[in-house]
Amino acid sequence: MEYYHEPVLLAEVLQHLHCTNGSTVIDCTLGGAGHAEAILDLIKPEGYLLGIDADDAALDAARVRLARFSQQIFSLVKGNFRDLDRILTGAGLHAVDGVLFDLGVSSVQFDRAERGFSYRFDAPLDMRMDQTEDLTAAEIVNTYGEAELSRIIKEYGEERWAHRIASLIVKARRKRPIGTTFELVDIIKDAIPAPARRKGGHPAKRTFQAIRIAVNDELSILEHSFRDAVRWLRPQGRLVVISYHSLEDKVAKSVINDLATVCLCPPDLPVCSCGLKPQLRVVTRKAIRPEPKEMADNPRAESARLRAAEKL
């Protein structure tokens, strides 16, 4: 298939979503529908899957991959999972058995040169998942102040040379606007000292990730989206989150732990008086990492961490 996306931690997702024939499952990050396809095989013929993606190209690829299933058992919606309540209400749903978030971008996006996500292809600096949004990578790179650029690259890219990269970006754009991925790659390469450039994968990888996260506002929407998802779950329903970045995983962990908190009373109080009712049971005490074989076969899996929780 032309734009195939290999689903990450597939067996673990299916194990923790606990879906069976008749389950209603929301895939908040449909992508190339790798997970969705396997979920549909488990929940058919009586189940129902709603797949959401902000990206039209992902929805097109998903439609091709899911063509063998009856249209009665799935719907695909263009939207952002930050609007989960509105999307699920609009779909006429009341409660669901499973919600999956497989965060970040898919191969469907990376492999299309013209989308500007990849440092491997020369293309306009775009990186929007939803191409109807206004903010592009070019705008960030050409208009954000040096301190803000440095913060984004350091925080979202975990890039040690963020300060130097931001400084060279600002210097380069004084001559003329930075228009393409390869122009940005050259600036990043110039900013990173040669010995550091030879370690840790492609030198532009971390900066591209950082700018993509900023373009799509990927982090700030997570907490409320996870909380919304939990509210939609039926008792025993499962939330499964795969993150690829420590900041994403931190939000998943903290929301799950917060909603699983049993009591906020001081430890010396003999009887609980806070009346707190936990909403979740933590299923994965430690985040699940892919097996070495999966990481070797699929480099995208390397940074993946899965967390799951069950609605009480």
Ligand X SMILES: C[S@@+](CC[C@H](N)C(=O)[O-])C[C@H]1O[C@@H](n2cnc3c(N)ncnc32)[C@H](O)[C@@H]1O
Tell me which stretch binds ligand X (CB under 6 A): 15-23, 90-98, 103-111, 304-312.
103-111
* Coil vs helix vs strand at 26: strand
Q: Which part of the chain contacts ligand X (CB under 6 A), choosing from 99-107, 110-118, 134-142, 201-209? A: 99-107
Is 81 labeled as ligand-binding? yes
* Minimum distance, C-beta of residue 84 to ligand X, in the bound complex (Å): 9
Spatial distance between the Cα atoms of 43 and 23, rounded to a whole number of angstroms: 6
Q: Does 303 bind ligand X (CB under 6 A)?
A: no
3-state secondary structure of 282: strand
Cis peptide before 45 (omega within 30 of 0): yes
**Residue 111 assigned as binding residue:** no
Q: Are strands 24-27 and 48-53 parallel, antiparallel or unpaired?
A: parallel
CA-based nearest residue to 69, from 97, 102, 36, 101: 36
For residues 66 and 168, which CB has a smaller minimum distance to ligand X in the complex? 66
Number of residues lying near ligand X (CB under 6 A):
22
Q: Is residue 9 within 8 Å of 301, Cβ to Cβ?
A: yes
Q: Is 85 annotated as a binding residue?
A: no
| Closest CB 57 distance from ligand X, rounded Å | 8
d(CA 286, CA 283): 9
Q: Which helix (H) or strand (E) holds 246?
A: helix 246-259
Contact region with ligand X (CB under 6 A), list: 66-74, 101-109, 245-253, 255-263: 101-109
- Which of 129, 169, 215, 239: binder of ligand X (CB under 6 A)? 129
Q: Choose one: 78-86, 149-157, 269-277, 282-290; the region binding ligand X (CB under 6 A).
A: 78-86
The helix or strand, by DSSP H or E, that contains position 309, with its residue range, turns out to be strand 305-311
Residue type, 155: E
Pairing of strands 96-102, 74-78: unpaired
Residue number, 221 or 265, with CB nearest to ligand X: 221
Residues 6+ apart with CB under 8 A from 308: 16, 17, 238, 239, 240, 241, 283, 284, 288
- CB under 6 A: which stretch of 67-75, 77-85, 112-120, 256-264 binds ligand X? 77-85
The C-alpha angle with vertex 176 and arms to 172 and 177, in degrees rounded to 5, equals: 90
Binding residues for ligand X restricted to 14-33, rule: CB under 6 A = 29, 31-33
**Binding to ligand X in span 183-222, by CB under 6 A:** 221
34 a known binding residue? yes
The yes or no reply on residue 53 touching ligand X (CB under 6 A) is: yes
The residues facing 75 across adjacent strands are: 50
Site membership for ligand X, residue 102 (CB under 6 A): yes
Applying the rule CB under 6 A, the residues between 217 and 246 that interact with ligand X are 221
Rounded to a whole number of angstroms, the minimum distance from the CB of residue 31 to ligand X is 2
Taking the C-alpha atoms of residue 163 and residue 166, their distance in angstroms, rounded to an integer, is 5
Residue nearest to ligand X (CB): 31
Residue 33, marked binder: yes
Q: Which residues are annotated as a binding site?
A: 33-35, 53, 81, 102, 109
Q: Which residues bind ligand X (CB under 6 A)?
A: 5, 7, 29, 31-35, 52-55, 58, 80-82, 102, 104-106, 129, 221
